[in-house]
Structure 1
Amino acid sequence: MSEQERQLQDLENWFPSVSGEAFAAAREQVLASGQSVLQSEGGFIIRVFPDGRKQRLKPVEAPTPVIPGTIFIIQ
């Protein structure tokens, strides 16, 4: 593996944890400002309110299981 490929692999490994931290911080900031957030939970889109209440909005399809490294071609 070349140095450039190794660096790219390091970035790809690092990105999920950093993006997860950024998402969690943004979610908390929105809730702290008094607004609600939407999330998927138990097969439904759920609105979560700052006080912790949850409201079911609509059902959604189950996620598609994907094996890491799988390539999808979108046409």
Structure 2
Amino acid sequence: MDMTEESIQYLEKHIPILADAAVKQAYWQALATGSSVLICEDGVMVEIFPDGTRKVLKQLEPQTIVTLGQCLELL
């Protein structure tokens, strides 16, 4: 199937929407199967259980702001 540049750009524009939907589906599917999920809320890692209870696991370090082209060394 040959795709034009326009059709590729159209599909690429929708990647964030599709990714968001997939993450939400995985979240609810995990809870529905009895598993817990981990999320970050306001800089805190939280475990959410299928019954709706939440357990705060840890305070996360602030995000590192980087600029385009900046190199970081991971220790």
Q: 1:63 to 1:8 in 2, by over 3 A?
A: farther
- Number of residue equivalences: 69
Misfit runs of 4+, over 3 Å? 6-9, 62-66, 70-75
CA RMSD of aligned residues (A): 2.5
Partner of 1:71: 68
Higher helix share: 1
Q: What are the ranges of 5 or more consecutive residues in structure 2 without an aligned counterpart?
A: none
Q: 1:72 to 1:32 in 2, by over 3 A?
A: farther
Partner of 1:30: 30
Give 1 or 2 for the bigger CA radius of gyration: 2
TM-score by length of 1: 0.72
Matched, 1:21 2:21: yes
Q: Cα distance, 1:72 vs. partner?
A: 4.1
Structure 1 residues 1-22: Cα deviation after superposition (integer angstroms, max 9, x where no partner): xx62x44432332001101101
Q: Cα distance, 1:54 vs. partner?
A: 0.6
SS in 2 for 1:35: coil
Q: 1:26 to 1:13 in 2, by over 3 A?
A: same
TM-score by length of 2: 0.72
Q: What are the ranges of 5 or more consecutive residues in structure 1 without an aligned counterpart?
A: none
Q: 1:74 to 1:10 in 2, by over 3 A?
A: farther
Percent identical pairs in the alignment equals 36
